[in-house]
Amino acid sequence: MALLTPIKPGLGGAAPALAAVNSTDTFQNNGKMILHVKNGNGSVCAVTIDDPNSRTPVSATAFNPDVATIVPATTGERFWGPFDPNRFNDANGIATITYSVTASVTAEVIDCS
C-alpha cells in the first residue's frame, strides 16, 4: 500500500505524476481530488474506490456502495472524482483505492483545490 502524493496544477500547469500502483493505494482526500488511472496491461483493470461507510444507510432502504469501474486494457484511461469526504474518507481523512491488476497500471491524484 502506498500513499499517493497529489499534484496541484496551477495556471502555470503541472507535469503528470503517474506512478506504478500497488494492489491498494491511498490518498489524503480534501473533497477536491481527482483520480487518474492509466492501464497499459493486456487485461482490463477493475478499480474500486472504497466507501468505508458503505454499511451506514443513507436512507431507510439505501446504502452507499463502493465505486467500481473498469479501465480498458492496453490503452485505457479513466478519471474519477471529486470524492465526498463524508462518504469516502476513513477516520484519518484517507481514501482507499484497489486495483484488480497492477502490472503496467499507473495512477496519480490531482488536487483541484
Q: Which three cell numbers stand for residue 95?
A: 481514501
| Torsion sign, CA atoms 99, 26, 7, 86 | positive
Range of the domain at 65: 2-9+17-111
Q: Cell 458503505 maps to which residue?
A: 54
Domain count across the chain: 1
Residue type, 89: N
pLDDT in tens, 32-69: 999 999 999 999 999 999 998 766 565 555 567 889 99
- CATH code, domain with 38: 2.60.290
pTM of the predicted model as reported, rounded to 2 decimal places: 0.90
Residue whose cell numbers read 497500471 = 105
pLDDT tens for 67-105 read 999 999 999 999 999 999 998 999 999 999 999 999 999
